[in-house]
């Protein structure tokens, strides 16, 4: 058993409610495994900061329905409690014509594929609905009734009333909800001292928030008093196995340098786990702070992040930039996703039009702009490359505000939207041949051949 924290729409406070629950549980010294619906990287960072355990993404587009069930079963049983944070509004998924063509999934005619409701049905979990009450009173009942009755397959366990004003306001909300016999599982008042800063791609990551622990303490204080724990705890309780499943790791035979710092921190934990299970030793390092790349490595992995925010510091670390370029030119395999791709470019041109030199592996520059590129992608490999063979279809996600000044003459992928056949163009750099540099973020959970192929190439070095 567990619950999914869902919103009636985006921006109602799902993440705040989730972190408040997690912080209060951890203060009680409870072990809790968290999950996040969708492809997001940043919310899981906050989960992990509170729980001490990596948050797992549940995304049927990037993986599959079967993988989600296996992932949830495996990790939820390792902790005393489990909690899933949803995405957007409860029924917001990918739209009409969603083909669901990947990973053996059958054609989906529903409009809520990959939504929080989809995951709730898939895992047979009850939903706690978060409602933003800041601009309503009696209408809360109509909202709750609509969500309660819209899909009879979804069980609404109760509601959390967020941004409640006065006692009178709360009384009106309770009176309105009473005929529905829908439990009020939490009441969060309007908070002026609990704010998580954001910027152009969402919340500011945890590594950049020096006051984060104080914020988590305030959330724990709030959680201790604002929830109906008598009703919530049984819902959150998982059933730990007497002997937790052990995923065998092959003996480490290869060292992979994984860039992880304030500039590069977008990684799916499942990807890192797969590399280790296949025999890789992961060496975490910082292109921002370190004076050299790690020694005795056979491959490099640059995840996404915010290199544009730290472009000056990255540019000033010339010894590391030169070492990265030299290693790759000499044949070291390297994966570079989104922010990692930007780092391998000749330069990053930031929002103020200032140019900062980068590693210079790719003969192009990354230019920051106002246009947001966002969405799931179906990508077909146009050539054999570091990770996949020509003709292979992979499913990923793009989320960036930069573009490249020069497109590759031999791109890695032809891409289209996941939910229709709209062509999104060709992208991705595979020259030199030991590089896989792409804006498309990939989750390898349903594609184990990707890390296998990467490590195969690394062992040749």
At 97 the pLDDT is 47
DSSP letters, 218-230, are HHHHHHHHHB-HH
Alpha-carbon distance of 393 to 269, in angstroms, equals 22
Residue 195 in this model has a pLDDT that exceeds 90? no
Residue 107 in this model has a pLDDT that exceeds 70? no
Is pLDDT larger for residue 109 or for residue 203? 203
Alpha-carbon distance of 37 to 29, in angstroms, equals 25
Count of all residues that appear for the chain in the document? 461
User: What is the rounded average pLDDT of the residues 49-68?
Assistant: 96
| pLDDT, tens only, 198-252 | 877 778 999 899 899 999 999 999 999 999 999 999 999 987 666 656 666 777 7
Say if strands 413-417 and 393-404 run parallel, antiparallel, or are unpaired.
Answer: unpaired
Say if strands 3-7 and 81-89 run parallel, antiparallel, or are unpaired.
Answer: parallel
Alpha-carbon distance of 257 to 410, in angstroms, equals 27
Place of tokens 């009734």: 145
Number of CB atoms found within 10 A of residue 423's CB: 10
At 137 the pLDDT is 95
Beta bridge partners of 388: none
CA dihedral 213→219→222→227, nearest 10 degrees, is: -140
Contact, 356 vs 313, CB < 8 A?
no
**Mean model confidence pLDDT for the chain:** 92
Of 82-86, 213-217, 293-297, give the lowest mean pLDDT range: 213-217
Number of CB atoms found within 10 A of residue 316's CB: 12
Cis check for the bond before 59: say yes or no (omega within 30 of 0): no
Q: Is 55 a catalytic residue?
A: no
Contact, 256 vs 284, CB < 8 A?
no
Residue 372 has, within 13 A of its CA and on its CB side, a CA count of 8
**% residues pLDDT > 70 (the chain):** 94
Q: Where would I find the beta strands (DSSP E) of 317-449?
A: 334-337, 345-349, 355-357, 362-381, 393-404, 413-417, 423-427, 435-438, 441-442
Alpha-carbon distance of 134 to 319, in angstroms, equals 52
Q: Choose the catalytic residue: 338, 345, 420, 458.
A: 338
At 378 the pLDDT is 95
At 103 the pLDDT is 56
Alpha-carbon distance of 320 to 127, in angstroms, equals 48
At 200 the pLDDT is 74
Q: Is 370 exposed, middle or buried (0-12, 13-18, 19+ CB in 10 A)?
A: exposed
At 135 the pLDDT is 92
User: What is the rounded average pLDDT of the residues 63-70?
Assistant: 96
Alpha-carbon distance of 188 to 13, in angstroms, equals 10
DSSP letters, 356-377, are EE----EEEEEEEEEEEEEEEE
Reported as type and span, the H/E element at residue 216 is helix 212-226
Residue 10 in this model has a pLDDT that exceeds 60? yes
The tokens for 169 are: 């306001």
Alpha-carbon distance of 327 to 299, in angstroms, equals 9
Contact, 363 vs 346, CB < 8 A?
yes
At 96 the pLDDT is 46
At 198 the pLDDT is 84
**DSSP letter at 178?**
G
Contact, 212 vs 194, CB < 8 A?
no
Reported as type and span, the H/E element at residue 351 is none
| pLDDT, tens only, 317-363 | 999 999 999 999 999 999 999 999 999 999 999 999 999 999 999 99
User: What is the rounded average pLDDT of the residues 291-308?
Assistant: 97
Phi, psi for residue 175 in degrees, rounded to 5: -60, -40
**DSSP letter at 243?**
S
What confidence category does residue 402 fall into, taking pLDDT thresholds of 50, 70 and 90?
Answer: very high
At 262 the pLDDT is 97
At 40 the pLDDT is 95
Tell me which residue of 402, 398, 391, 461 sits closest to 433, measured CA to CA: 461
What confidence category does residue 98 fall into, taking pLDDT thresholds of 50, 70 and 90?
Answer: very low
Beta bridge partners of 257: 283, 300
Contact, 156 vs 126, CB < 8 A?
yes
At 94 the pLDDT is 86
């Amino acid at each position: 058993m567990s619950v999914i924290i869902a919103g009636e729409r985006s921006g109602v406070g799902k993440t705040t409610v989730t972190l408040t629950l997690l912080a209060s549980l951890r203060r009680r010294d409870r072990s809790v495994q968290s999950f996040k619906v969708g492809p997001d990287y940043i919310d899981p960072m906050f989960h992990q900061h509170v729980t001490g355990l990596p948050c797992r993404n549940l995304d049927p587009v990037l993986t599959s329905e079967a993988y989600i069930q296996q992932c949830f079963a495996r990790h939820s049983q390792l902790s005393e409690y489990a909690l899933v944070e949803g995405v957007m509004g409860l029924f917001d998924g990918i739209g009409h014509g969603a083909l669901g063509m990947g990973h053996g999934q059958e054609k989906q005619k529903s409009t809520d594929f990959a939504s929080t409701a989809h995951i709730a049905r898939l895992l047979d979990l009850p939903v706690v609905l978060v409602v933003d009450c800041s601009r309503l009173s009696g209408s809360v009942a109509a909202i709750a009734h609509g969500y309660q009755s819209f899909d009879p397959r979804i069980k609404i366990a109760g509601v959390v009333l967020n941004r409640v004003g006065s006692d009178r306001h709360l009384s009106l909300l309770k009176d309105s909800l009473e005929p529905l016999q829908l439990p009020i599982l939490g009441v969060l008042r309007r908070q002026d001292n609990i704010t998580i800063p954001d910027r152009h791609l969402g919340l500011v990551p945890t590594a950049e928030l020096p006051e984060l622990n104080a914020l988590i303490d305030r959330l724990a204080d709030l959680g201790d008093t604002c929830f109906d724990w008598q009703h919530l705890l049984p819902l959150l309780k998982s059933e730990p196995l007497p002997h937790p499943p052990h995923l065998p790791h092959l003996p480490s035979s290869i060292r992979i340098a994984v860039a992880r710092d304030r500039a590069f921190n977008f990684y799916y934990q499942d990807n890192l786990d797969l590399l280790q299970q296949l025999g890789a030793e992961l060496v975490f390092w910082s292109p921002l702070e370190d004076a050299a790349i790690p020694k005795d490595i056979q491959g490099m992995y640059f995840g996404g992040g915010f290199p544009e925010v730290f472009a000056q510091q990255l540019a000033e670390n010339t010894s590391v930039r030169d070492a990265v370029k030299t290693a790759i030119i000499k044949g070291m395999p390297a994966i570079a996703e989104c922010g990692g791709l930007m780092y391998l470019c000749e330069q990053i041109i930031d929002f103020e039009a200032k140019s900062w030199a980068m590693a210079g592996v790719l003969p192009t520059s990354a230019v920051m702009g106002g246009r947001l590129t966002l969405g799931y992608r179906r990508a077909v490999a146009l050539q054999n490359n570091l990770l996949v063979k020509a003709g292979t279809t992979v499913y990923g996600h793009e989320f960036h505000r930069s573009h490249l000044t020069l497109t590759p003459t031999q791109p890695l992928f032809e891409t289209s939207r996941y939910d229709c056949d709209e062509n999104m163009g060709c992208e991705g750099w595979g020259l030199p041949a030991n590089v896989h540099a792409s804006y498309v973020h990939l989750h390898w959970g349903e594609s184990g051949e990707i890390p296998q192929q990467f490590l195969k190439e690394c062992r040749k070095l």
